[in-house]
Amino acid sequence: MNGWRNLYFLCIFAEEHNFLHQGVSYFEKGELLLIAEGDEQVFFKFYAHYSNQIRPFLLNYTRSETDVEDIIQETFVRVWVNRDRLPGIDNIGGWIYRIASRVYLDHIERDIKHRDRKASFGEAMYGSGMVVPSERTHLNEVSHIIQVVLNNLSEQKRNIFRLNREMQMKPGQIAAELNIPVGTVKNNLSAILQEIRKALAAAGYGPLALLILMHPLTDFF
């Protein structure tokens, strides 16, 4: 059974590798490690680089600049909650594009369904000023799910996460502050991100999240 599973992943890996040959990663291991530990400054560089690559496509294939930013936002929230796995991902550019593509498709599908509903009720029902903020609701949902996870963390995990996110403290600094081993801090941070990813998957951000969880490029080695 195990053999079959490995074979399956091997196929996906091979196919993907050929299809999305992007060459070496633009960001060095050191920078990815910093991002993995929650460094917002370095992540901004990372975000700027990749989001600017994706924007031209989105601008040409969505209806407004707001749509572009919404898709970028959701894409990079997903990247961000996977930050602890970044150093282990082989083709980061390709990985990000895959996430963006799926977010894009979901967005289009939602938008069309929403327009359909609007059309069938007739414009009169919505009036001139009433815009149903489907995209806003959607993005808020993602945030909400994450907040629920954060609210249910144990006290220690909550402290560690807070120090990391609000005070931008590195694991070493957190370990010193809380008087616990650095390894514990790192494990806890990773565990929290895992919980967030599981919650997102459970809430119906399914196929994509599962894809990330089972992504062969990291599980392979």
Partner 1 sequence: MNQNRLTYLLKQYASGKLTSDEQQELARLLTETDREELAQYITTIAQQNDLPRIIINEERSATTFRNIMAADKPASPAIDVPWWRINFRRLSIAATLVLSFSAAIYLITRNDKKNSVAGSQVTPVKPEKPAGRNTAVLYLADNSVVELDSINNGLITTQGGSQVMLANGQLAYVAPDKKATTIAYNKITTPRGGEYSITLSDGTKVWLNAASSLKFPTAFTGKKREVELTGEAYMDVAKDQHHPFEVKIGNVNVAVHGTEFNIMGYEDENQIVTTLVSGSVAISANANAPLTLVPGEHAVVKNNNSDMIVEKADVEEETAWKNGRTYFNGANIRQIMRQIARWYDVDVQYKGDVANLDFTCTVSRKDKLSKLLGLMELTGAVHFTMEGNTIIVQP
Binding footprint of partner 1 on the chain (CB under 8 A): 19-20, 40-41, 44, 47-48, 51-52, 54-63, 65, 69, 72-73, 76-77, 80-81, 94, 97-98, 100-102, 104-105, 108-109, 112-113, 115-116, 119, 139, 142-143, 146-147, 150-151, 158, 161-162, 165-168, 196, 207
Could you give the count of Cα atoms lying within 13 Å of 210 in the half-sphere of its Cβ? 6
Expressed in percent and rounded to 5, the helix, strand and coil fractions of the chain are: 80, 0, 20
Compare residues 78 and 175 and give the one whose CB is closer to partner 1.
Answer: 78
Nearer to partner 1 by C-beta: 3 or 63? 63
CA distance 190 to 83: 9
Is 192 in contact with 153 (CB distance < 8 Å)?
yes
Of 2 and 149, the one with the shorter C-beta distance to partner 1 is 149
Question: At a CB cut-off of 8 Å and minimum separation 6, what does 32 contact?
Answer: 25, 86, 87, 92
- Computed from CA positions of residues 162, 157, 78, 215, in that sequence, does the dihedral angle turn out positive or negative? positive
Q: How far is CA 139 from CA 75, 133, 200, in A?
A: 11, 10, 12
Nearer CB in complex with partner 1: 2/56: 56
- Return the number of the residue (2 or 179) whose C-beta is nearest partner 1: 179
* Nearest approach, Cβ of residue 172 and partner 1 (Å): 18
CA 179 to chain centre: 31
Minimum CB–partner distance for residue 130 and partner 1 (Å): 19
CB of 51 to partner 1, least distance (A): 7
CB of 118 to partner 1, least distance (A): 11
**Could you tell me the smallest distance in angstroms from the CB atom of residue 204 to partner 1?**
14
